[in-house]
Amino acid sequence: MMNENKLKRAFKQQYGRSIHAYVIQKRMEKARELLESGQVGVSEAAHLVGYVNNSYFISRFRQTYGYNPSKLKG
């Protein structure tokens, strides 16, 4: 048994970032993969990785990669 604080601390120690930051990183990696495939647009990629607000997704993507996701559209 592990309480929430111990879990968060152990996760950060193991992966070097918080659980929240790790999840965002994985979502962005998947979105980038989808966009690079050319099979989906920005809105669909955002939806597929769990973002409801496209503007927020674009902002997060830009924050992560330094450019807009539309740059990757096939």
pLDDT single digits (tens) 44-71: 999 999 999 999 999 999 999 999 999 9
What percent of the chain has pLDDT above 90?
A: 91
CATH code of the domain containing 61: 1.10.10.60
Whole-model pTM? 0.85
Establish if 62 belongs to a structural domain: yes
- Give the per-residue pLDDT at 74: 55
pLDDT single digits (tens) 1-43: 779 999 999 999 999 999 999 999 999 999 999 999 999 999 9
The three-state secondary structure class of 12 is: helix
Establish if 36 belongs to a structural domain: yes
Our count of domains for the chain comes to 1
The three-state secondary structure class of 24 is: helix
Nearest-angstrom CA–CA distance, 50 and 58 = 13
Range of the domain at 44: 18-72
Establish if 11 belongs to a structural domain: no
**How many residues are present in the chain?**
74
Establish if 40 belongs to a structural domain: yes
